[in-house]
Amino acid sequence: MKKLYLLTVVALLVSVFSTSIGFKAEASPNVSARNAIVLDIDSNEILYEKQPQEKRNIASITKIMTAIVAVENGDLDDQVTISSNAVNKEGSSIYTKPGDRYSLRDLVYGLMLRSGNDAATAIAEHVGGSEKGFAFLMNEKRRWIGMKNSSFKNPHGLDEEDHYSTAYDMALLTSYAMKNDEFRKIFGTKKYLSENIDYYWFNKNKLLMTNDYCTGGKTGFTKSAGRTLVTTAERDGKEIVVVTLNASNDWSDHRVLYDYAFEKLEKRSDGIDEEMLDFPTFIKSYFDVLDRMHGVKEWST
């Protein structure tokens, strides 16, 4: 009976204390993505995760790494001559022609806003000497950042053996890259006009156009990778990065994860901290428990 009494005391104390500081069970949101993660950019704390360490093909979100390596290792005012190899790269394009000359800045914007594989190849050839030379720089950077479950073989994200990453690693990369002012500006640009053409490149990330919190992003797709998406968002001074891999409904996934993560951050900063400091409330709850335990003591002796 004494054991029962003690267990009851503990259960009541836990119940009251949990209520007094506002702990509530939160249901994690359901998302279509096979892999997903949300990181707090300030601390790299994980706010949500779903199989975040699974190695997968990542398609064109590879270009986040391409962009930060180009920004950090190249001169954006350099003029780059477009090769036939770049022009003939399959997949999405900014429609360059052999012999065209673009600034490296133009190519990075074309890379991020329009996901140009020709732009990715031209950047790699200029900054790294070749695609493979540039891949070496990409892997040096991923090791420095701490991306332990990633390997890069090309600058564009087309399927290739040993080219892969994880939701967690891509979030870590994006969190790092967002601390570079030039990258942040490019990542969040809605439209861009190159001196070489007479029409705007519009960003393929439609959340940037339609969501009040979204501050940037990169889309991707191949048959093997499915739809991949990385976006950043900010609300009330708090900034997050969201990554989804193989997500059939990625736009909705990101909106749902924005709400979930920001509410979690808000409750953490505004709710629990203040209530834990409300010592008089806790003392009142403590004596409440003692009153309740009076009856328990009577039938347990």
Domains in the chain, CATH or no CATH each:
2-300 (3.40.710.10)
Residue 115 annotated among the catalytic residues of the structure: yes
Q: Quote the pLDDT of residue 254.
A: 98
- Model confidence pTM above 0.75: yes
Active site residue 151: no
The residue written with tokens 């031209």 in the block is 122
What band does 288 get if pLDDT is binned at 50, 70 and 90?
low
Catalytic residue among 63, 141, 153, 218: 63
88-116 pLDDT, tens digit per residue, is 999 999 999 999 999 999 999 999 999 99
Q: pLDDT by residue (tens digit) across 9-61?
A: 444 444 544 444 444 445 789 999 999 999 999 999 999 999 999 999 999 99
Catalytic position from the list 20, 92, 115, 165: 115
Half-sphere exposure (Cβ direction) of 19: Cα atoms closer than 13 Å: 12
Residue 183 contacts residue 67 (beta carbons within 8 Å): yes
Please name the residues in contact with 180: beta carbons below 8 A apart, sequence gap of 6 or more: 68, 71, 72
Residue from 60, 83, 150, 165 carrying the catalytic annotation? 60
Catalytic site includes residue 175: no
